[in-house]
Structure 1
Amino acid sequence: MRIVLVGPPGAGKGTQAAYLAKNLSIPHISTGDLFRANISHSTELGKLAKSYMDAGNLVPDEVTIAMAKDRMEQPDAEGGFLLDGFPRNVSQAEALDEMLQSGGMKLDAVLDLEVPEDEVVRRIAGRRICRNDSAHVFHETYKRPKQDGVCDECGGELYQRDDDSEDTVRKRLEVYHTQTEPIIDYYKAQDLVVTISALGKVEEVTQRAMDALKRGDDRK
């Protein structure tokens, strides 16, 4: 299957992408991973992207598109893939369509993870990270530490990252609504969108997604 995963920040896209890709036996292609890999290996695209980032500028769509194209042409993606973070806007969605069509391929589904905005803010703004080890993550609502402000694992100080503040989260949501959400309508016109609730336990959401993808596949 060839799937695009869409949803607001805090919807759990990265977590669901990993589970779904494993269940479907297809590679999980994340924009963040693509950038890190290209930059760390000093590829031509990586150098180009880094030059924009170092100057404090957004990386142009054509660079992101070229990275995605290169990754989708790798042998492990021949049987399908799950895209996470790409396309991020309608221009990128149009470019993806052109790429696939030129190779005689098409998308099978666009999985839209739906989460109420207040829940997104609650999920992200409630996160607290250990200063000693960023892998130790707690939450004011869902995973409270035994002692406020102290990591259960190592006793380190727990803090809120700047980009997890409520104001920042709401700004990120505005960007999502303006730039990324329009691709849902774009793909609805192609009858590709499968929308599910991303509320509940991780495994519940994964099963919900698998069931919805199967129903969508059965309709074709």
Structure 2
Amino acid sequence: MKKLFLIIGAPGSGKTTDAQLIAAKYDNITHYSTGDMFRAEVSSGSKRGQLIDTFISAGNIVPIDIAIETIVGAIKKAPTDVVVIDGYPRSGEQMTELDKYLENEPEVELVNVIEVEVSRETAFQRVLGRAADAQVVRADDNEEVFLNRMKLYTDPLAEIQEFYTQKNILKIINGEGTIEEIVNEMDKFIQSRI
């Protein structure tokens, strides 16, 4: 039985970094982002990978049923019993479909959904700070992209929080501290659940 942890958070919340650092500490935890899973499936040359490639290469969103089959397939093939995925679900539909799929999936148990909570100001400073470090395009371009990504995250958030709260599996972690503080809190929590 694979134990699954999903980590959600606004752009700039640090969710990917947190998950990577925790997985790097242990031999029994595998970390994936959804993008990694799609790329791995495409490079495997499988029929599903070829199908995913037709959507990605055309700049289209991978249909939800294919996305979920890919995610669950990657979880099952993971080299460890504990799998941490960041950045999923991103919508009410993704959440509902994943839940339906997992209900009939005896090999995978969704243990917890961890939300890394940061203020809009913190997220904004972190994302635009990264962009400034990389000397990318004008600040207003970055700001527009950030605000769009933030809206995509916050619009379905209340529905996602309510759904996982009712299932008693939502854990909120304060993402305002140092990376070390956040990783330690998340790490302790994950260890307490496995």
TM range (shorter): 0.7 to 0.9
Aligned to 1:3: 5
Cα 1:52–1:103 shift into 2, 3 Å: closer
TM-score (norm: length of structure 1): 0.75
**1:173 aligned onto 2:150:** yes
**1:159 aligned onto 2:135:** yes
CA distance in 2, matches of 1:166, 1:192: 33
Q: CA deviation at 1:161?
A: 5.0
Q: Which has the larger radius of gyration?
A: 1
Matching residue within 13, 16, 25 for 2:15:
13
Q: CA deviation at 1:70?
A: 1.2
Aligned to 2:89: 87
Structure 2 residue runs of 5 or longer lacking an equivalent are none
SS at 1:196 equivalent? strand
Paired residue type of 1:211: K
- Percentage identity across paired residues of the two chains: 27
SS at 2:79 equivalent? helix
**1:29 aligned onto 2:6:** no
Matching residue within 126, 129, 134 for 2:129:
126
Q: CA deviation at 1:88?
A: 2.3
Alignment of 1:67-216 (within 5 A): 67-74=70-77, 76-77=79-80, 79-104=81-106, 105-128=108-131, 138=133, 159-161=135-137, 165-179=142-156, 182-213=159-190
CA distance in 1, matches of 2:138, 2:73: 33
Contact 1:3 1:111 (C-alpha < 8 Å) held by counterparts: yes
Q: CA deviation at 1:210?
A: 2.6
Q: CA offsets per residue over residues 50-96 of structure 1, 9 Å max, x none?
A: 2223333222111211210211121524x221121222222322333
CA distance in 2, matches of 1:197, 1:75: 28
Paired residue type of 2:110: L
Structure richer in helix, relative to its length:
2
Cα 1:198–1:81 shift into 2, 3 Å: same
Paired residue type of 1:182: E
Structure 1 residue runs of 5 or longer lacking an equivalent are 130-137, 139-157
